[in-house]
A and B are shown apart, each in its own frame.
Chain A
């Protein structure tokens, strides 16, 4: 088994010297599979296909498409003016409203990458127009995107609840406060650094008339989330299908009401959507090759056992679990990590006396944070691909947010009452 050290070497080596991420992950996975024996090689195309064969993945291309349509047809500009009228007077106002929008959007998506795709394509260009640097706008969006899968609905909570036998309703309820806390602390980071960073600031307080005028322009755009949320809560569509409904709404407003879309515009929009999807999905598909190799050789379990055997102290164990999840989350898809590691970790958390719902939220949150940590974080890649910004430039602006969110994660891990407050209130 030369693969055990060759695979990580190839992966990190190629990645460090600039090989595209989708290729580096796939090549590393293929080296691992080849090392097991040539007869395993058909697993490479097999996993490439199977890694994408999931209906919920559709949300991402649909949100990219809806965002493209909104940008080209000018719907986004209306939204920008509205946001500007409301919060533009505040230094970093648009960054704050990006965070608040993430909380609203959280109610209609279960996945952080869909959130990144939707916002990367609308709010990032909007923030740029308002005078923010693109890397900063991407960093704010990435930091906010993990609120999506923390506040219900959450795909990870559903998977965790069913495989670990924990109440999904309980996990949903327990995710609300941590989600709001992430929003709050990120807004704190924005406020604290706003002056030093020279974030844009408009003139004076908003006038009632100004808000009304902006509302008229931004009304149809502001209605979009209401429309999507309504279609989900009204029982007309699943969260994935709601993304397709967002496309319909954007097309209707942009094409029929604003009359701002030509056929050539639509073709360009479609081309860009397919190409961004291709780039992001190659990373997901390649990760599923590497993931299968890791699973087949029981590597996550081995790493977990080694790390967790270091101590018996409950507090140290919690710390080790968090480190383990953040590290494995660097290289593996979070759904796969959850399926493989939750059964290893959850019994341990029970043994040290953690409430199952509390432990579940802690594990889910740690995995969500790993989505935005470099070098391998799906949200980072989605934003880089959608906006054309460099991963390392985003990362430079992102680290204060990562630190703040890790701090929240630690608070949540060690203060169970905080997580369990709402579930207890609801009697779950």
Chain B
């Protein structure tokens, strides 16, 4: 092959286990076959080249060509990604799928700003594989009151900690490597993550209750080194773009498949007691948590943050209306 694209991501290589795996596999297949082998795509799954914030740095400096990263990793390079931490903003996954694309009115603004500030080229924007849900070992979370005193593990993210404390719980930030054991021994009562991650991390083995609250949904962002991209022939540029687009759509669909299949909710429902928080109750969660996070976003990112946040909320309203 004349050109090599090294594509790194955090999740397992198996295309049926995560959206990143799907995206990488589809992209590799499309690009390699349609370039007649002129482009080779090498996959580096499981964070082999480093943690996602580190690999983004490797892409920015042109050592690695492309990566699919979580919002947590991107936050170190583009802090405004934190606006997605506004809780209970999306009514359902349909609207989230519409908003978290490069093409939505918000997506265009967000991608444009991210590209301008980091110099990266964005190939795709996708949700983290569904809404965050709560799991815990104490009781089903059905109302805001149930959160009282609950020790919920979060990432070391001020916004996520604010969500928990504004709901009356006690945020317990712990490194990812220790979460399974911490849940097993009771250092934390519960944690929050999207369903595929809960299944992937085997938290069903150490947690009893899964409560679907639809509280947060964050993006995964697929980026490429801009100099590498500019160095491609026009033909190859087109190929990379459409392959990335198809791959992202496949990833979006795979998230839903995983959620619906024995790798997602049905699997968890076998081992955990699942409850869904009804919309009326979700509104109370929103009322309790949104103002705190909004204040935090304003404190951390200033006027720029609020402007980006309002653009996100406007885009959500727009898509809601279109439904």
A residues sitting closer than 8 Å to B (CB atoms) are 39-40, 42-43, 46-47, 50, 53-56, 110, 153, 155, 158-159, 161-165, 167-169, 232-240, 292, 295-296, 298, 336, 339-340, 343
Contact = CB atoms under 8 A, between A and B. Distances in A.
A162 B12 CA distance: 9
Contacts of A164: 12
A238 B63 contact: no
Interface stretch (B22-30, B38-46, B115-123): B38-46
Interface stretch (B125-133, B172-180, B274-282): B172-180
B273 interface: no
Interface string B13-37: 1100100000000000000000000
Interface stretch (B50-58, B159-167, B212-220, B302-310): B50-58
A54 B63 CA distance: 23
A168 B180 contact: yes
Interface of B: 6, 12-14, 17, 42, 44-51, 54, 57-58, 61-63, 174-175, 177-178, 180-182, 184-187, 200-202, 205-206
Nearest to A153: B181
A301 to B, nearest CB: 10
Contacts of A239: 178, 181
The list of the 7 closest CB pairs from A to B, nearest first, reads A235-B186, A55-B175, A169-B205, A238-B178, A168-B202, A235-B185, A339-B46
Given A54-B175, A155-B177, 4 more contacts: A46-B54, A339-B47, A340-B46, A340-B48
Contact of B12 (A153, A158, A236, A343): A343
Contacts, number: 86
Contact of A55 (B58, B177, B187, B201): B177
A368 to B, nearest CB: 17
B186 A163 contact: no
Binding site secondary structure of chain A = helix
A55 to B, nearest CB: 4
B48 A339 contact: yes
B12 A165 contact: yes
B48 A50 contact: no
Given A168-B205, A238-B187, A298-B42, A292 B50 contact: yes
Given A46-B54, A56-B175, A295 B201 contact: no
B157 to A, nearest CB: 16
Contact of B61 (A42, A161, A163): A42
Contacts of B201: 162
A40 B49 CA distance: 13
B178 A240 contact: yes
Nearest to B174: A238
28 contacts: A39-B62, A39-B63, A43-B63, A46-B54, A46-B58, A53-B51, A56-B177, A56-B178, A153-B184, A155-B177, A158-B177, A163-B12, A163-B46, A164-B12, A165-B12, A165-B14, A165-B17, A165-B200, A168-B205, A169-B205, A232-B185, A235-B185, A235-B186, A236-B187, A239-B181, A340-B46, A340-B48, A343-B12
